[in-house]
Structure 1
Amino acid sequence: MTIKTNLMATTAAMLITAGGAVYADGHATHPETGETLASEQVFTYRDLDESPSIDPGKAEDTAGGDIIRDLFEGLMGQDAEGNLIPAVATGYTVSDDNLVYTFTLRDNAKWSNGEPVTAGDFEYGWKRAADPATASPYSWYIELTTVANASEVIAGDMDPSELGIKAIDDTTLEITLTQPLPYFPDMTTHYTLFPVPQATIEEFGDEWTKPGNMVSNGAYVLTEHVPQERLVRERNEMYWDNENTIIDKTVSLIIPDENVALTRFLAGELDRTEVPAGQFPRLAQEYPDDIMSVPQACSYYYTINLTDTTNPALLDPKVRQALSLAVNRDVIVDNVLAGGQKAAYTFTHWATAGFETPETPIAAMDQAARDAAAKELIAEAGYGSDNPLSLKLIYNTSDSHKSVAIAISQMWKQTLGVETELANQEWQTFLETRGNQDYEIARAGWCADYNEASTFLDLMDSGSGYNDAKYNNPEVDALLAEAKTAADPQAAYTQVEQIISEDVPIIPIYHYAAAKMLSDAVEGWPYNNFQQKWYSKDLYIVAE
């Protein structure tokens, strides 16, 4: 579902040049659409939390990724439709055995300090992220690319210099895989595989990401960062395509309260914010030109701690199955959220390219049958009115997460007699708590790193860095490995989804839709990009 009028293709614009400065004003028009551009090209949007890092080698969240894509640029990028397009690389060739990729870099790519971006910068960035000394929370992503020796380097069994990436010369980068991976080029759009400036990092250490220190190669540079308040990036005059960029400045504001953010949007202080839970129908009627809802490659779920630090009851599959069955997902998406989300009975998002959603027993039932089965299972596990089960559920601070948690805890109480203690935590604390398995049940969300089912299901691998349940099923591991080399991996994906539906290390709740308020003055938004990978350089603001 897309609700937005006057959808325009994302295009670059030629701007008026005066005295050597490039700018847009009320008299400039878009070269393809003819629209009059606003005199102030500033895009301001709301973020829920402060990102843990904006270092490409240490970042781990979606909001941080949005910032990094403005500040840095990888080998390849995505267009408004989600198609792969050249970025720093102009293209690539592949060996006959599909194991060696050779990327050709453009010779006019520069860092914000004027130095050229070279193949060596990519080699350094990849090896740094894989190096255990960096402690990258996303190092496992490099292993997923099947780059040669990635597993050994990340495990500390090989020196990072052995990673299968090599700068042949300044504009030629060679990457060797251990097995063919058809979607490998798409994986290079992820920030973990972006280049980083070695000299700057060596000079400033952990302080290199601060304004004034950071050197970047994207369309924007970091000019201001007030933690827990705001982050500002402005045009990078050294960017190779700067003359075709319209937005001069992008500002992200940390606003924890969704309703406060909505008020500020309606007052004209924000160009984009999230639709608060349950308010989409009303806002769509009142502001039809400023609202959108499109499928987004993310899944919302609850992860269950399966280690010895958990509530022992959760180690019983019958308890986990009962909890999953008792969640009325239709109530969550239709009444609590009401923004175009879809009920989830699989981990993989229904709109993922090439994925066919398999039938699972839970999906085939109606809610009455699910509730009946849940009651039987919880009784078989030994819990009931004479032995009530008590659980703890944590979520990162957000009104929407709170609304979902309250609704589900009430479902568990009504159907199963389960008492649930709810607790919210600030984002970075929450990530640490969940990552350290210091929880019983925790809210989680996963957004695709690339448009293929493995980006979701690989989290169920026992060795995944984001397997926060610490789920370990050798059959699942084997199927995921098999899928990597299968001509058609759907059969393996179907089996994995069916197994985790029985084992319930996670409880899928809904598949995301990007339900947002977006000013009708902002054009160029990539509505049809399933991952919702947006770049400020592709946006522009029209005159009111």
Structure 2
Amino acid sequence: MKKTNWLLLVLALVLSMFLAACSGGGDSSSSDDSNSGDDNSSSDASGDSKQVLNIMDTAEIPTMDASLATDTVAFQWLGSTTDGLYRLGKDAKAEPGIAKSNDVSDDGLTWTFHLRDDAKWSNGDPVTANDFVYAWQRAVNPDTGSEYGPYMMGGVIKNAEAIANGDKPVDELGVEAKDDTTFVVTLEKPIPYFKSLTTFGTFLPLNKKFVEEKGDKYALEADTLLSNGPFKITEWNHGEGWTLEKNEDYWDAENVKLKKINVKVVKDTATGVNLYETGQVDRTNLSAEFVDQYRSSDDYKIKEEPTLFYLKINQTANDILGNVKARKAMQMVIDRKSMVDVILNNGSIPAVGDVPKNFVKDPESGDDFRDVNGDLVTYDVDKAKKLWNEAKKEVGKDSFEIEYLGGDTETAKNMDAYIKDQLEQLDGLTIKVTSVPFKERLKRDTAMDYQLQNSGWGPDYIDPNTFLNMWVTDGGNNMTGYSSEKYDNLIKQANDEYALEPEKRFQNFLKAEKMLIQDDAVLVPLYQRALAQLWKPYVKDVQVNPMGADYSYKYAYIEGK
């Protein structure tokens, strides 16, 4: 996800208590005397006390405004309370939301969505095509100040980029309500993953009358929100937690079994484990020190994610980082297996490229992208040292001090120390770790005020482009100094000339990844993240998503509690 430059902050929180957010939330509610488990017997109006899910999040929701949301906490609960055109269903396939079906023109530029006529907002208003027109225009309107609107729609929806830049009026965005149940979208070019994009939070509809009535208070409190999805937020105690209840007016309410979801903000792993052990919550994340204790438990689960972490290299910082042999040496000298087995100890796996495992498949063979392209980096200390010595000769220096931009938490510092130790196996290399807060690292990344940093990226849509398009010349999230006309052309050709030829497009992405990692050594892949968790066995059918909302609770239920 954009700026999933969660960097080592997220790495640290994987170890200490996963923060599902790009930006932080409120304080932990350690003084909260309420017992979320008690709600099972006291506050379910239906009398069905079993259908209450009690969980934790590690940060406050920053906003529930779909135009302004940038973090996964917000996207999680937007996805739980609001249906877009489509939702992510089983196996990350788009399933009908407000759209019952869609038609695509032969040239791939015009998408016509046929909306259901039984969808309502929680204030009783019908959900119409105009709600999508308003929401999408608002997201790219420069007056809104949306970060994700221009990012997700620019170059995708016709005129979005020009509107975001102030060069065209908002009403020229390529969206139109033919009538209440017909929404037409015109694209800048064919987008093979567009249907997947429509499941993302930025593309959710908004009720114009309600949004404008609430003004700057919109989406900041339970009573300034509307829902058209499976659940609605009925209570929001900032910094402490929030409550969702089943939306009885939801168009598909008959398939929603949970009556209530209680969410408590808890940042400390030990506290979360204690709440789990005492039956007050139904799920908790485990940091490395708890994994061995619970690994044999039937409640122990691994949540795999298509999120990659890597060392990002500023090639313009000095001569040695600008040398491809030196960068290849850094790729080869790090023992990723020990990193994931010992330091993380949570199911994460070594990263060997820039596209994660179990994310996308070859459109013809069905083989996983990662299996097709193989391991583009290997662990070989002897070869690393040989390449490093060659690089030193080419640069004409014997010793180098490189700044490593790291996190300021204790666990982040432990990981930094491991990577420092690995890199310093290269003769004459000294790594100087600079530990700064998360926001400072984001700021320094944007300004390219770094030499090495630990960075990460999670997908915004299900397509290799979400990872590989980052590294084109002057890309908004490139910030490495990398520029290759050949690489740019591979990505451009994949997205333009081969937009409607899936297999050729896939082959271009394979070539681009090899060039990026194997040939040009732009990044030092580290690991693909996973989460170690405890789940109560009576919680069923919670869907884990690779993008957008981490979980879908639409079909979840409690059995035999």
TM-score, scaled to structure 2: 0.80
1:290-337 residue CA offsets vs partner (Å, 9 max, x unmatched): 122253222122334467xx6786455555444333322111122222
Aligned to 1:64: 74
**Per-residue deviation at 1:273?**
2.6
Q: Retained in 2: the 8 A contact 1:344–1:510?
A: yes
Shift of the 362–353 alpha-carbon distance from structure 1 to 2, 3 Å rule, reads closer
Q: How does 1:55-454 map to 2 (within 5 A)?
A: 55-143=65-153, 146-211=156-221, 212-277=223-288, 279-285=290-296, 287=297, 289-305=298-314, 314-355=321-362, 356-357=369-370, 363-364=377-378, 366-374=380-388, 376-377=390-391, 380-381=394-395, 384=398, 387-395=399-407, 397=409, 399=411, 401-416=412-427, 417-426=429-438, 431-454=442-465
Q: Cα offset for 1:278?
A: 6.0
2:158 is aligned with what amino acid? Answer: A
CA–CA distance in 1 between the matches of 2:452 and 2:378?
A: 25
Q: Deviations along 1:401-430, whole A, 9 cap, x unmatched?
A: 44433321221234453223242525x565
Mapping for residues 420-499 of structure 1, pairs under 5 Å: 420-426=432-438, 431-462=442-473, 464-469=475-480, 471-485=482-496, 486=498, 487=501, 488-499=504-515
Look up the equivalent residue of 1:295 and give its one-letter code. E
In 1, the alpha carbon distance for the partners of 2:375 and 2:385 equals 13
Match for residue 16 of structure 1?
A: none
CA contact (8 A) 1:394 1:423 kept: yes
Is 1:42 matched up with 2:82? no
Query: Which amino acid is the alignment partner of residue 324 of structure 1?
Result: Q
Q: Cα offset for 1:44?
A: 1.2
Structure 1: gaps (5+ residues): 1-20, 26-37
Q: Over aligned residues, Cα RMSD in angstroms?
A: 3.1
CA distance in 2, matches of 1:362, 1:55: 40
What is the distance in 2 between the residues matched to 1:454 and 1:125? 25
Question: Is this contact kept in 2: 1:293–1:340, CA < 8 A?
Answer: yes
Q: For residue 538 of structure 1, what is the aligned residue in structure 2?
A: 555
Q: Distance in 1 between matches of 2:389 and 2:259?
A: 58
Q: Partners of 2:452 and 2:236 in 1: how far apart?
A: 33
Secondary structure of 2:361's counterpart equals coil
Equivalent position SS for 1:418: strand
Match in the other structure for 1:12? none
Aligned counterparts of 2:424 and 2:115: Cα–Cα separation in 1: 58
Which whole-Å CA distance do the structure 2 matches of 1:227 and 1:392 have between them? 36
Distance 1:76 1:22 in 2: 30
C-alpha displacement of 1:376: 4.5
CA drift of 1:202 comes to 2.3
Rate the CA distance shift 1:361–1:170 in 2: closer, same or farther, 3 A.
closer
Q: Give the residue type in structure 1 aligned to 2:387.
A: A
1:129 is paired with a residue of what secondary structure?
helix
Per the alignment, residue 530 of structure 2 pairs with 513
Superposed displacement of residue 171, structure 1:
0.9
**For 1:297, what is the secondary structure of its paired residue?**
strand
Under a length normalisation based on structure 1, what TM-score does the superposition of the two structures give? 0.82
Change (3 A) 1:183 1:393: same
Task: Supply the distance in 2 between the matched residues of 1:414 and 1:226 (Cα, whole angstroms).
Answer: 50
Give the fraction of aligned pairs with identical amino acids, expressed as a percent.
Answer: 28
What SS is found at the alignment partner of 1:457?
A: helix
Secondary structure of 1:23's partner? coil
Report SS of the residue matched to 2:463.
Answer: coil
CA 381–333 in structure 1, closer or farther in 2 if over 3 Å, else same: farther
Does the residue aligned with 2:69 lie in a helix, a strand or coil?
Answer: coil
Aligned mates of 1:165, 1:270 — CA distance in 2: 43
How far apart, in 2, do the equivalents of 1:274 and 1:370 lie? 36
Q: After TM superposition, give the deviation of residue 496 of structure 1 in Å.
A: 1.9
Amino acid corresponding to residue 370 of structure 1 in structure 2: A
Give the Cα–Cα distance (whole angstroms) in 2 for the partners of residues 493 and 351 of structure 1: 16
User: In the superposition, relative to structure 1, how do residues 161 and 343 fare at CA in structure 2: closer, same or farther (>3 Å)?
Assistant: same
SS of equivalent residue, structure 2 residue 460: coil
Give the Cα–Cα distance (whole angstroms) in 2 for the partners of residues 429 and 108 of structure 1: 47
> Contact conserved, 1:89 with 1:103, CA < 8 A, in 2?
yes
> Could you tell me which amino acid in structure 2 is paired with residue 495 of structure 1?
K
- Assess if the C-alpha contact under 8 Å between 2:303 and 2:530 holds in 1: yes
- Tell me if structure 1 keeps the 8 A contact 2:326–2:387: no
Deviations 1:270-289 (A, max 9, x none): 3223231365454221x2x2
- Structure 1's 483 and 63: CA in aligned 2 closer, same or farther, altered over 3 A? same
Deviations 1:218-253 (A, max 9, x none): 222233444444343333343222343222333444
Decide whether aligned partners of structure 1 residues 133 and 444 sit closer, same or farther in structure 2, where only a CA change above 3 A counts: farther
State how far apart, in whole Å, the 1-side matches of 2:154 and 2:380 are. 37
Deviation per residue, 1:480-531 (Å, 9 max, x gap): 111114122123212321232244443321123343222212111225x555
SS at match of 2:356: coil
Amino acid at match of 1:520: P
Q: Does the residue aligned with 1:490 lie in a helix, a strand or coil? A: helix
1:23 to 46, 53, 60: 46
The one-letter amino acid of 1:523's match is K
| 2:516 and 2:522 in contact (8 A); partners too | yes
Instruction: Give, in angstroms, the shift of residue 58 of structure 1.
Output: 1.9
Provide the residue aligned with 1:10 in structure 2: none
SS in 2 for 1:85: strand
Residue 72 and residue 341 in structure 1: after superposition, are their counterparts in 2 closer, same or farther (change >3 A)?
A: same
- Kept in 2: contact 1:318–1:380 (CA 8 A): no
Aligned-partner residue type, residue 405 of structure 2: L
Instruction: Tell me the distance in 2 between the aligned counterparts of 1:228 and 1:503.
Output: 45
Alpha-carbon distance, 1:50 to partner:
4.1
Range that drifts further, 100-109 or 448-457: 448-457
Structure 1 residues 470 and 290, CA gap change in structure 2 (3 angstroms): farther
Distance of 1:183 and 1:195 partners within structure 2: 19
Residue identity in the other structure for 1:123:
V
Q: Compared with structure 1, are the counterparts of its residues 154 and 102 closer, same or farther at alpha carbon in structure 2 (3 Å cutoff)?
A: same
Structure 2: segments with no counterpart, 5+ residues: 1-43, 363-368
> Residues 398 and 46 (structure 1 numbering): CA distance in 2 closer, same or farther, change over 3 Å?
farther
